[in-house]
């Protein structure tokens, strides 16, 4: 069994529509990086989750009540601690996944690795690159090639 974990995103639906009300996590984040990561996760035909510094590991149908602005490492009182993220992995049974694919930058991947440190899950971060743009380019190329539009005969 595989699980894909993707980063939330700074851009949210409430930035453009202040009256949007509560939203499912899959619909709350609107920035291009989130959209590309979501496409990748959905293309894997497996379970996927979103990791937020405020809410932790969220299933795509988790309802977010409204806008927030919390970033990992900003020392906000709303930021979940590493020990709380680790407890979420245990409480949500995420350690049952044999393979966990993590998208995001190096720091983000490390947060996930630390959160899963008590599990037997094998973690991989196939698109971590030296730059953010490199990662997005690799994911887009993967999606393009997988869709059969990569020029294969």
What backbone torsions phi and psi does residue 31 show, to the nearest 5 degrees?
A: -70, 150
Q: What is the pTM of this model?
A: 0.88
Tokens of 135: 């990662």
| Structure confidence at residue 149 as a pLDDT band (50, 70, 90) | low
**Higher pLDDT pick, 150 / 69:** 69
List pLDDT tens digits, range 115-146. 999 999 999 998 886 677 777 777 888 777 87
Tally of CA atoms within 13 A in the half-sphere of 112 that contains its CB = 29
Query: Which segments within the chain are labelled E, that is strand?
Result: 2-7, 23-24, 47-52, 56-58, 63-64, 99-102, 122-124
**What's the rounded Cα separation, in Å, for the pair 152 and 120?**
37
Q: What is the topology classification, in CATH, of domain 2-145?
A: Rossmann fold (3.40.50)
List pLDDT tens digits, range 39-68. 999 999 999 999 999 999 999 999 999 999
| Structure confidence at residue 148 as a pLDDT band (50, 70, 90) | low
Domain boundaries, the chain: 2-145
List pLDDT tens digits, range 73-115. 988 999 999 999 999 999 999 999 999 999 998 899 999 999 9
Q: Does the structure show a pLDDT above 50 at 33?
A: yes
Compute the Cα dihedral for 141, 42, 26, 57 and give only its sign.
Answer: negative
Predicted confidence at residue 152, as pLDDT, reads: 40
Predicted confidence at residue 153, as pLDDT, reads: 35
């Amino acid at each position: 069994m595989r699980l894909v974990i993707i980063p939330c995103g700074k851009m949210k639906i409430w930035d453009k529509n202040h009256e949007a009300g509560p939203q499912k996590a899959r619909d709350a984040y609107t920035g291009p990086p989130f959209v590309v990561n979501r496409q990748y996760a959905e293309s894997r035909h497996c379970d996927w989750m979103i990791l937020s510094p405020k809410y932790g590991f969220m299933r795509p149908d988790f309802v977010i009540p409204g806008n927030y602005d919390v970033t990992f490492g900003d020392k906000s009182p709303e930021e979940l601690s590493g020990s709380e993220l680790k407890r979420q992995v245990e409480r949500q049974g995420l350690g049952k996944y044999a393979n966990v694919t993590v998208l995001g930058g190096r720091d983000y991947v490390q947060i996930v690795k630390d959160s899963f440190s008590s599990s037997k899950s094998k973690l991989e971060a196939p698109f971590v690159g030296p730059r953010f743009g490199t990662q997005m380019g690799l994911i887009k190329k993967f999606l393009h090639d997988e869709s059969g539009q990569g020029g294969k005969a």
